[in-house]
Amino acid sequence: MGDAFLSSEFENQLLYLSNNPEPQVYGGNPVKIFDKKQNAIASIIQFCSDFDLVVFYSLDTYLGSIMLGLPPKTKVAWRFFGFELYYKNKEKYFSETTKKILLEEWNSKKTVFKTIKKFLVTFLRRENKTVFLKAISRCNLFLGLYEEEYKLLKKDFPQLPYFIPVSLLTDLEDTILPKLNKENFFIVGHNRLIWNNHFDILQIIN
């Protein structure tokens, strides 16, 4: 994924957050590794502060804290994947078919424990929401695949920064796809996240 920003016109440094301290190399270049822990945030901010542009792959509260700590002179780009925003208001993007299936599953497995768990998860997310929204406002560029999707999301998140389309092929060109020995198969969607409403697609296929 770092190849998308490799060019002879500027210097590029790949930073990776991991619990694996082993040194890594990507595209012939060494990778700077930091532990994804709270006590590492200050060091990460200090390291990134010298760059003209920092590109974040995805966005969560942890990465948002790093964004907010960067100096104003440092431009911030956010490579958007989808789950960062859809997860914040996922019920809005559920189709009627998805809602019906979810309700049936909830009623069949409803317990006091699940009710308490849902309340606690909702409460904790509310505390993290402020940092997340401030981080979006701190971003200068939104790197996404489709402008239509960007315009849709901007209705719910008006603070989204300027949109720049990225090539899906650039992100996937180094990906090694598995060999499938099956016949007469097809893929529905690219992941199992529920807001993709795959049940509707399966109904159309049936």
| DSSP reduced 3-state for 10 | strand
Confidence class of residue 71 from pLDDT cuts 50, 70 and 90? very high
- The Cα 27–Cα 127 span in angstroms is 39
**pLDDT at 46 > cutoff 70:** yes
**pLDDT at 22 > cutoff 60:** yes
**pLDDT at 12 > cutoff 50:** yes
- The radius of gyration of the chain's CA atoms, rounded to the nearest angstrom, is 20
Q: What is the pLDDT of residue 33?
A: 87
- The Cα 4–Cα 130 span in angstroms is 31
**pLDDT at 1 > cutoff 50:** no
Q: What is the pLDDT of residue 51?
A: 93
Q: For residue 9, what is the DSSP state?
A: T
Nearest residue to 143 via CA among 78, 85, 59: 78
Question: 192-206: string of b/e by CB count within 10 Å (b at 16+)?
Answer: eebbbbbbeeeeeee
Query: What is the reported pTM?
Result: 0.74
- The Cα 62–Cα 55 span in angstroms is 15
Q: Give the residue with greater pLDDT, 164 vs 122.
A: 164
Confidence class of residue 3 from pLDDT cuts 50, 70 and 90? low
Q: What is the DSSP code string of 17-40?
A: E-S--S-EEETTEEEEEE--SGGG
Nearest residue to 143 via CA among 74, 15, 63, 57: 57
- For 35, phi and psi rounded to 5 degrees? -70, 140
Q: What is the pLDDT of residue 123?
A: 45
Nearest residue to 64 via CA among 114, 143, 132, 11: 132
The alpha-helical segments, DSSP class H, found in the chain are: 41-48, 61-69, 83-86, 96-109, 112-138, 147-156, 168-172, 198-205
């209705």: which residue's tokens?
155
Q: Are 162 and 141 in contact (CB under 8 A)?
A: yes
Q: What is the pLDDT of residue 40?
A: 92
Q: For residue 158, what is the DSSP state?
A: T
